Each structure stands twice: as structure tokens, then as C-alpha cells.
Amino acid sequence: MSTLRRLRALWHPDEYHGWGRTQRYFEGWYFKIVSRDERHAMAFIPGISMGEKGVAHSFVQVMYGSECRSAYHRFEAADFKPAERSFHVSVGNNHFSAEKMAIDLPGIRGTIRFQNTQPWPKMLGAPGIMGWYSFAPFMECNHGVVSLHHELEGTLHIDGVGVDFSGGKGYIEKDWGVSFPRAYVWMQSNHFDTHDRVSLLASVAHIPWMRSHFIGFISGFWLDGRLFKFATYTGARKSLKINDQEVELSFQNAKTTLRILARQAPGTALVSPLSGEMTGKISESLLATMQVELLENGQRIFEGTGRCAGLEVAGEVEVL
């Protein structure tokens, strides 16, 4: 039964993939929300962690990006309850889906609904953002996008103060597998000065492959209903330069070029998975900015500056 559930989940990246797993496994979803006035940028990360010896727990990690602080709320493994044939995950009294999230944690309560979600499109042989790599059974870390862009409705009560997120923007993705990559760069923004309906996701990572490795990358630029894809499996080329202040990243397909200059900002410490256990440490900012340019057939079709950007530069990035 667990095998059949895992096979079905291959075609539904948003759903739970860990059926039957008991050790060296993690799975987590990332819900980013930004208020309309952009004063409040937060992320909620519900998930499950299974260590090498089978010791497991569930969690909800909260990132207060505007304040550069975080909280890790630990639950029993039995408190983690995924739906069998849809994307719905409960951790204690906290509930998460593609339609809403309901939060009941120390110091923070409330419900945020998601409207007009934009899922990553499915294609034959490519159920999600990873393309045909979705079917590789030995990937160290798998990635999925639940919604590239959506509007928010609802209020969270944080330390007794109501924060209205109505009219704000959100983004949802997820990861599952054994560990986060040895080195990676990840960035995302929904807030651009020149267009309202835009979302950018880009990632470059060190990926173990059989007895070797390769540097893989995936990026999606969603522009008012059009999705431009750049990935290892599309045959795109990438260029990456990193220093203490900036990340310069570009992708090129046959007809399109995407150029990004992301600038670092104060980050928040988060817990990350190593061999299934939440014992790693990373830093993510929700205050970064990025200058973005998209060209199609040599013509510039987008240029703008992204705000409230998530940015992670983690591990031995010199290998990238």
C-alpha cells in the first residue's frame, strides 16, 4: 500500500511522499506570505523528520523575516497527519493546504486563505518543476512548487496583535528526501516594481548522482500567465557569480535569457535536514532585493526590481 501511495505521489509533487518511510527522511512545505504594505514578511514550514535510527518528530518552523528571527515548534511524529489523496497536512492543530493555512502556535494564531493560486504546470513525463528527474529514485533532495503566486486573505494574531494579510501575496513550495544539498543558492520574489503579476524562483545546487555529482539548476519566471522555464533538463546554460554582497545569476535557453542580480540582506537562522534529522543550520533572508531582466528573441520583455525576496546562499558554494 505504501509503495502504491508513493507511486501516485510522483504525479502530485504537492502531496506527501513519505509513505512507509521510517528513517533518513524529511519532508517539508514552505509557505511564504507578505502583507499588502510589505511590513510583514513571514514563512511557515510544516514537516516531518526521521533520523538514521528511526527517531522521528514533526514540526512547524516559523520565520519572522521582517524581524530576522525564527521559532521552531516541535511536535510528536504522531501529530503529523497527511491526507492520502490530496494536499492537506496537519501538525497538531495547524493545518496546511493549497487553499489555506490555519495556525495555532504559541504566540501566533489565525487563518490565511489563498486565492487564484498558480501551480507549476504538469506535462507528460514532467509532473513538476524537476522534469523527468522527478522519477529518479535516489535523489538526495527533491523539489516541488505548489503555487508560484497567489493573493492572501485573513489575519494572524501575533503576540496579541492582529496583522492583516488581506491583499498581500504568497508563494508555496516544498522539499523532500534525505538532506539539503551540500551547496546551493535559492531565491524567490513575488514583488516587483514594474509588474504586479510576476513571480521568480531560481535555484542552483550540488547534486549527488550515482557515484559522481553534477551542478543542477531550475528556474521559473511567471509573467502574467506565461511561465518561462530554465533548467538542467531543458538544455539551458547558466552562469553564477557569488560574493559577500551579491549573487549574479543568468540562464539562457535557445530563445530566452534570464538575468538576475540579487543583493544580500540580514538573514534569519533556520533549521535544515541532514540525513533526515533537523540538525543543520542555514540562513535565509526575506528582505533581499533582485534586479531581473528577461529577453525573448533578443528583445527585452521584462525589467524590474524584486522586493521582499527570499535568498539563501548555503554550504560550500565555491563548488557551484
pTM above 0.75, yes or no: yes
Distance CA 88, CA 37 (A): 29
Q: Do the Cβ atoms of 308 and 285 come closer than 8 Å?
A: no
Task: Tell me how far the alpha carbon of residue 201 is from its chain's centroid.
Answer: 8
CA-based torsion, 231, 235, 236, 238: positive or negative: positive
Q: Which pLDDT does position 232 carry in this prediction? A: 94
Q: What is the pLDDT of residue 2?
A: 80
Domain count, the chain: 1
- Alpha-carbon distance of 98 to 26, in angstroms, equals 20
What percent of the chain is predicted at pLDDT more than 90? Answer: 86
Domain membership of residue 55 as a residue range: 2-319
- At position 160, the amino acid (one-letter code) is G
pLDDT for 8: 85
- Cell numbers 510576476 correspond to 198
Spatial separation of the C-alpha atoms in residues 33 and 230, rounded to whole Å: 25
Task: Calculate the alpha carbon distances from 272 to 28, 131, 137, 238, 275 in Å.
Answer: 10, 24, 22, 26, 10
Sequence letter at residue 53: K
CA dist., res. 158 & res. 312, Å (int): 25
Q: What is the 3-state secondary structure (H, E, C) of 136-151?
A: CCCCCEEEEEEEEEEE
Q: Check residue 138 and give its pLDDT.
A: 82
Counting as low any pLDDT under 70, the low residues of the chain are none
